[in-house]
Amino acid sequence: MNRNTRLVFIVCLTAVFGVIVLQSLWIRNYYQVNKERFDKEVNLAFEDAIKTEFRLRCDTLENLMCQFLMDTTQMTITSKWSEKDSTHVYYVTNKKDPKDSYNFSIKLLNLPIVPQNDSVKQLVARHYARAYREEDFDRHVIYFHTQNLGKYIGARAKEFSFDTLRLRPIYQQLLAERGIRESFVFYMRDEDSTVNRSRFPDSLLSRYSLITKSFPTYKVEKGGNYIRAAFPSHGNFLFGKMIGMIIASAVLLALVVLALLYLLRIIRREKKLSAIKNDFISNISHELKTPIATVAAAVEALEGFDALKDPQRTKRYLHISRTELQRLADMVNKILNIAAYERQEFELKPERVNIDAIIEELTSQYPLPAAKNISFQYNNQAGTSSVMADPLHLHNVISNLIDNAVKYSGPNVAIDINCYIEKQHFIVTVKDDGIGIAAGDLPYIFDKFYRVPSGNIHKVKGHGLGLSYVKHIMEKHGGWCLAESRPGKGSIFKIGLQA
């Protein structure tokens, strides 16, 4: 990794780390805000629940009081005109004790109570019960206006005293309206502080993540005079509020990481392409120089050593020059053809081809290097020798595979060529016992200009275009190609065509 690549890598890591830190701080702050919101909402809901529960009790007592006042076996309601005040005075009297009475006036009503007409009497009873509620119930006291009425209301107030069974559904509903569905328990104490300054035992704090403010219960009987709501956890609420934020943060972070990885991949790829380009230039320069140097030496011999006077020597030098120039022309044409294939400037002309004839021609006419002993073995197990392909390009593909097998083998070369049908594909394999290919290089051998790295030493002549051509032609045919190899164990190249 050179200095520039290392610098880009460090910048990318710093950027990713910075995004992670910012996202973490953002999520942490958002978590804190939602935690404070949860604290506020559960306390507001609890206060409303306490008030609602008390209001329902007062409604019940008010209705019971009104019914008791209308019960003629217990109470009588009468009216008398007051000349002094110019209004009707209403009397609520204990039926069993006429001396046990309470009187009052209603300015907005001021109607007499007449026998056989309970409409005014009902209005008076309703008004009296409402006034008693506002003046006594709402202040958590009970005054005995009459003895029997006071005892009745006292008994009913005790019967309908504060009850957590009544409070729980009210509180659950108010929490649900605020989007809170956490479980909770009620915590009651005989003594507490309504300003929320009480201290709780560690055992309680370890079990509950939040305890609400305290509110008085105003119970008639002693004990449990203050109540709080305790929440074991608030994870569901916070998770529900933060899930969108967490997903958005994760997606954003993933996009940043993927973008940076893609950038690093492009940089690495460009670096690799640059190395391949330099290797290609080095190889092609070496191979171009060889025929040029040979031709130059032949021309120099013709000019400087009186070779023109010797017809045999002249003929030999001209033959050498022609051969090297043809080799040079072949290399240039091959490079130009590869460029044409890459630009899609050619069309296949598929027809029924005799694969046996192509392979027999290649193996029988293959130019044998003087330094190598080459043996071929061919076996067609496909049950047919006919395959649909462009004859010229199929010939060149197999020729390239054989050429590679020869180049990358030792002095004694054994090449096995097999044909068979598998999964509706006509497959041709070329197996050699050469030097093999490392696993790290196998994925790239079909890339254009790629050659197995060997520094600037070119023991095997080539320019990294043969296998790229093979892959390109096979894909144009709708087929495929692959290679299997292990260093020192030889290689197997496979091509597949539609059967």
pLDDT tens digit string along 194-203? 776 567 778 8
Kindly list the domain boundaries of the chain, sorted by start residue: 3-159, 182-233, 238-339, 347-498
CATH 3.30.565.10 holds for 347-498: yes
Q: What is the pLDDT of residue 457?
A: 40
Q: What is the pLDDT of residue 345?
A: 58
pLDDT tens digit string along 93-142? 999 898 999 999 888 888 888 887 888 999 999 999 999 888 888 888 88
Q: What is the pLDDT of residue 496?
A: 93
C-alpha distance from residue 85 to each of 101, 111, 250 (Å): 20, 14, 79
Helix (H) / strand (E) containing 88: strand 87-94
Q: What is the chain's mean pLDDT, rounded?
A: 83
Q: What is the DSSP letter of 104?
A: E
Q: What is the DSSP letter of 141?
A: -
Q: What is the pLDDT of residue 389?
A: 92
Q: Which residues touch 175 (CB under 8 Å, ≥6 apart)?
A: 41, 42, 45, 181, 182
Asked whether this chain's domains 238-339 and 347-498 adopt the same fold, the reply is no
The stretches in the chain having pLDDT less than 70 are: 1-2, 196-198, 220, 276, 279-280, 282-284, 286-287, 302, 304-310, 330, 334-346, 366-371, 453-464
Fold held by 238-339: Helix Hairpins (1.10.287)
The whole-angstrom distance between residue 227's C-alpha and the CA centroid of its chain comes to: 44
Q: Is 110 left (phi over 0), alpha (psi -120 to 50) or beta?
A: left
Instruction: Please tell me whether residue 53 adopts helix, strand or coil conformation.
Output: helix
Q: What is the pLDDT of residue 308?
A: 64
> What is the Cα–Cα distance from 407 to 427, expressed in whole angstroms?
23
Q: What is the pLDDT of residue 21?
A: 85
> What is the Cα–Cα distance from 200 to 207, expressed in whole angstroms?
11
> What is the Cα–Cα distance from 105 to 313, expressed in whole angstroms?
150
Q: What is the pLDDT of residue 143?
A: 85
Q: What is the pLDDT of residue 456?
A: 42
DSSP string, 171-187: HHHHHHHTT-----EEE
Nearest by Cα to 153 from 165, 173, 136, 170: 136
Joined tokens for residue 237 = 């609420």
Q: What is the pLDDT of residue 229?
A: 92
Q: What is the pLDDT of residue 344?
A: 59
Q: Which long-range contacts (CB under 8 A, 24 or more apart) does 254-257 make?
A: 256/15, 256/16, 256/19, 257/16
| Beta strand segments in 162-281, E | 185-189, 210-211, 215-216, 226-231
**271: how many CB neighbours lie within 10 A of its CB?**
14
